Structure 1
Amino acid sequence: MLRSVVLFGALVLGLVLAHGRGEEGEGFFRRLAVADGKEAVVRVLDEEGKLLGQFTVPSPARLYPLSGGQYVLAVHRDAGAVSFLFGGFRLEDHGDHQDVKEENPYVAATLRTGPKPTHIFAHGETLAVFHDGDGTVVLFDLRRLGLDFTPRLVATGGADHGAVALLGGALLVGGLERGRAEVYTPAGARVLTLPQACPRLHGEAVLGEVAAFGCADGVLLVQRQGRGFVGRKVPNPAGSPEGARVSTLTAHPRAGVFVGNFGQALAFLEPRESRLEVLPLPARPLRFAFDPEGEALYVLTADGHLHKVDPRARRVVGSLEVMAAPDAAPGLALGHGVAYVADPSRGEVVRVDLEAWRVTARLKVGGAPLYLALFEVVGTKH
C-alpha cells in the first residue's frame, strides 16, 4: 500500500519576495533551482543569482524540470520521497497570450512514495518514478499539478536499479539486474516480457513511437506494432573500446535521433538504423542534453569544457571552457539561449550565453551546488 505524506509549507525556510525581471513585454521568464550535493537544501535563484527561496528537504535531492516550466521535481533517494517545487510563475490565460504573475517559489508537496526513488521519466501528461528498493513505480498526472498530487502505484516484481519509459499508453520497465524490459498497462498489469536480453540495462529515452534502453552490449529499441510491442537489438560497433557502452540516453523529436554516452564519445542512433554512429570527444561526457528547440546538443565533458554538437552532422561545432575539471558530474540545465553549469568546488553556478557562446556570469551560491533545473515559461508581463 502506498504510504504518502504530503507536507505543505513546513519545509520552506527563508523565503524572500521574488522581484523577477521588472520589464514589460512578452518573452521567456526563468528561475533556477539548485540542489546542494552534500546538504539537504534546495535554493531557487533568479537569473542574476539573487536568492528567492531556500528550502530544507528530506535528504539531498536530484532535480528534474517538468513540462510547462512551472514545476521542478526533486527526488530524495535516501529519504524515500519526492518533492514538487513551484517556481513562482503563475500563468493567466488571455486567449492569444498568457500573462506571467511572479510570486514566491515554494514546496508545493512532498510525498513519501517508496524506498529509494531514483530514475524518473516524464512524457506528455504523465510522470513515472521508479523505486529501486522494491521495484514499484508511481505515476503522477502532470495536468493535476497544483490541484492533486496523488499518484497511482504499479508493482513490477522486486527490487532492482530500474529504468522506466512511457510509450503508446503503456509503461515500459527495465532492470539492471534482470537485464530485460517489460510492458505494463497503466493499471499495473504486466502484458509482455520482451525476449531480447539487455544486460546491465540502464538509461532510457523515447523518440516518437520508439523507446530505447542502454545495454552493456548495445541498445534495445522497443516499438509498438499493432496492439503489441516488439523489440530490436542494435549491437555495439565492432572493435569498441573495452568498457564502452551506452548507459545514459536522450532524444528530441525535432532532432530525430537518440544520443547516448559511449566511453570517451557519444553514440548516435536513428530509430530505423541498425548501427551506432560514434563521435569521439576530447574527454568523457558527464552531462548532455538538447536545447529546447532540438537544434543542438550540449555536452559537458570531464575536462570542464562545454561543447556544442550538431546532431545532424554528428560533429562538434564549438567548445568553451566553463570550469576546472570537476571531481563529480555537475548539473547542466538548458533554456532558450542559455545554459547553467554547477561548479560545486567553487560554490558557484556558471551561466553561459549560447548565442554569444561565452560565460556571462558566475553566480555565487555557496555550499556545494550540484544538481540544477530551470523553471522557464513564456508569457507577457505587465
Structure 2
Amino acid sequence: MNLQTRLKHLSLFVAAAMLAACGDATTEIVEKEPVVVPGDGHDHGDVSGAGRLLVTSKGSNQVNLYELEDNKLLATLGLTHEPAYLYASPTKRYAMLVERSDDLVEFIDGGIWQEDHGDHLHPYEQAPALVDFTLPGSRPTHVTMGEEQIAVFFDGDGQNGISASVAMFNEAHISADNSDYPVHTFDTHMHGAAQARGENVFATLRDANTTSTLPDRIARFHAHGDHFHQEQVFDTLCPALHGSAQNHDAVAFACADGVVVISEENAEYSASKILNTEAFSEGMRIGTLRAHLEGEQFFGIAGTTVFVINPDAGEMELLDWQPHAEAKLLSLEVSLDGENLIILDSQGYLTLLSAHQHGDDLHWELAHKLDISEADVALMPEGSRFEMTLSNEYVYIADPIKKHVVIVDRHEGKISGELALGFTPNKLTWLGIVGEADGGHVH
C-alpha cells in the first residue's frame, strides 16, 4: 500500500471517528455490505434504479453519499483535500473530485454500475469507496466527457514556470488503477480546454509571448501509448477562448467573437466559425458551452443570455428562457435523455424547457418554472450558491440556506421531496445507471 493510499484510509478512519464522537444523528455513517450478484444472466438481485447522490460539504474534505431509494446516508468518505469541482464519469459510476488548489483529482466509486454480458446488461451494487486511482498535476480545472473517454486539462502555474497539460483516460483506467494513459505537456501555462473524442484530443494552444492566459488556437492531438502526437493546428482563430463541448457530429470551442466548430468528413477534420449575432452587446461573449452527446445543437451561455447554436445551418439564435428579474444564470444542463434543457438561477428558480421538432428544426419551449427555495436568497452563505445535478428522472438542487437538497420531478414539473443534510452543501452529483437497465433487474 503506497503512501497516498495509506493517507486516504487514515482520512476515512479519522472522519468516521469524528462523526461518531459528535453524536449528530444527521451525519451518522451507515455503510451497507457490498452486494455483488452472481453473473448467471437472470437472478441479479435488487439493484437500486434510483442511484446515489454524492454531496460535498462546504469547507471540508468530507463527502457524503446518500442512497436515493430511501434518502438515507450510506457513507461518509474523507478526501485528501477539499474539492473545488465535482463531475461524474461517462456512465455515472465514478465521481471525479477536483482539488484544484492542491493539484490533485481524486475518484470515488459510487458502487452502482452495469456490464455488457452480450445478451444482457448485468447490474451490480456494492458499497461506495474511494479508489486508488488519482490524477496529480498543476491546477486541474476543466474536465470534459466524450462517449467513453475523459479529458482533464491542467492549467499549469505561470508564477512557478509550470506548463499546462492534458490527460485522456477512461473508466477502465480508474477501476484498475492504471496509469498507462496518454498525457501531453504544452510549452506554456494557459487557462485552456480539451475534448476527448475517440483516439483524438482537441485542445487549446497559447502563444507564450502573449499576456493573456486565455488561448486563441486549437489543435488536434492523436494518442500514441502514453503520449500524444500533434497532428493538426486549425487555421481558424479563437480569441479569448473559454468553454468547449461536443455532440454527435462536432466539437465546439467558445471565442470572444463566436464559436469555432470542428467537424469530421472522410477522416479529415476542418474548422469553421459561427460569428456572434447582433444580439451581442459590447463586451458580451459566450464563456460556457453545453451539448448532448447524441444531439446536434450546442448551447452557449453569455451571462444570463443563452444561445442555441446550429452548426449545420451555421447559425445561433436566442433562447427565450424567461429569466427571473435580477437572476444570474448559475447552471444549464441537458437532461440525460436529451429531451429537456434545465436552467438554475441565483434567485432559486428552476426553468425546464422541452424539445419540439418543427420540420427539420429542433426548438425549445418553456415547460415549467419552479421556485425551489422558500428562503430569502439574501441569506445565502458567503461563497455558496445553489447547485444542481441530474438523474434519469429527477433534478437534485443543493440549497445551502436550508442545508437540504430539493428533489424535482422534471416530467411532472414539481417538487417531489427533499433530502435533509445537516451541513452546508457545496457541490453534488448523481451516480447510478443511466437509462433503463436491461432485463428489468434494476428497481
**What TM-score, normalized by structure 2, do the two folds share?**
0.78
Q: Which residue of structure 1 aligns with residue 171 of structure 2?
A: 142
Which has the larger helix fraction? 2
Q: Which residue of structure 1 aligns with residue 208 of structure 2?
A: none
Query: Structure 1, residues 189-235: CA drift from partner, whole Å, max 9, x if none?
Result: 22222222212211111112310111122111112244442211111
**What TM-score, normalized by structure 1, do the two folds share?**
0.89
Which structure carries more relative contact order (alpha carbon 8 Å, separation 6+)? 1
1:186 pairs, out of 219, 223, 231, with 223
Distance 1:235 1:242 in 2: 14
In percent, how many aligned pairs have the same letter? 26
Aligned: 1:165 with 2:187: no
2:150 pairs, out of 123, 127, 130, with 127
Aligned: 1:289 with 2:311: no
Q: What does residue range 208-247 of structure 1 map to in structure 2 within 5 Å?
A: 208-247=248-287
Q: Which residue of structure 2 aligns with residue 45 of structure 1?
A: 66
Q: What does residue range 1-382 of structure 1 map to in structure 2 within 5 Å?
A: 9-12=9-12, 13-14=15-16, 15-18=29-32, 28-47=49-68, 48-61=70-83, 62-89=85-112, 91=114, 96-98=119-121, 100-133=123-156, 134-150=163-179, 151-167=181-197, 169-174=199-204, 177-187=214-224, 188-280=228-320, 281-282=322-323, 283-311=327-355, 312-323=362-373, 325=377, 328-377=384-433, 379=437, 380=441
Query: Structure 1, residues 65-89: CA drift from partner, whole Å, max 9, x if none?
Result: 1122321111111111111111122
> Per the alignment, do residues 301 and 242 of structure 1 end up closer, same or farther by CA in structure 2, a change over 3 Å counting?
farther
Query: Structure 1, residues 158-178: CA drift from partner, whole Å, max 9, x if none?
Result: 211111102353111126522
Size of the aligned set, in residue pairs, is 378
**Structure 1 residues without counterparts, runs of 5 or longer:** none
> Per the alignment, do residues 177 and 254 of structure 1 end up closer, same or farther by CA in structure 2, a change over 3 Å counting?
closer
> Per the alignment, do residues 316 and 228 of structure 1 end up closer, same or farther by CA in structure 2, a change over 3 Å counting?
same
Distance 1:5 1:376 in 2: 27
Distance 1:100 1:172 in 2: 33
Determine which structure has more spread, i.e. the larger CA radius of gyration. Answer: 2
Query: Structure 1, residues 327-376: CA drift from partner, whole Å, max 9, x if none?
Result: 65532111111110111233221111222222222322233212111111
Distance 1:225 1:98 in 2: 33
Q: Give the letter aligned to residue 77 of structure 1.
A: R
Cα deviation, residue 36, structure 1: 2.4
2:401 match: secondary structure: helix
Distance 2:95 2:113 in 1: 14
Distance 1:305 1:177 in 2: 32
**Structure 2 residues without counterparts, runs of 5 or longer:** 17-28, 35-44, 157-162, 206-212, 356-361
2:49 match: secondary structure: strand
CA contact (8 A) 1:241 1:263 kept: no
Q: Give the letter aligned to residue 201 of structure 1.
A: L
Cα deviation, residue 314, structure 1: 2.7
Which has the larger strand fraction? 1
CA contact (8 A) 1:308 1:316 kept: yes
2:101 match: secondary structure: helix
Q: Give the letter aligned to residue 184 of structure 1.
A: F
CA contact (8 A) 1:206 1:212 kept: yes
> Per the alignment, do residues 225 and 96 of structure 1 end up closer, same or farther by CA in structure 2, a change over 3 Å counting?
closer
> Per the alignment, do residues 95 and 210 of structure 1 end up closer, same or farther by CA in structure 2, a change over 3 Å counting?
closer
> Per the alignment, do residues 93 and 120 of structure 1 end up closer, same or farther by CA in structure 2, a change over 3 Å counting?
closer
Cα deviation, residue 254, structure 1: 4.2
Distance 2:330 2:248 in 1: 26
Distance 1:252 1:57 in 2: 31
CA contact (8 A) 1:140 1:149 kept: no
1:361 match: secondary structure: strand
Distance 1:368 1:341 in 2: 13
2:167 match: secondary structure: strand
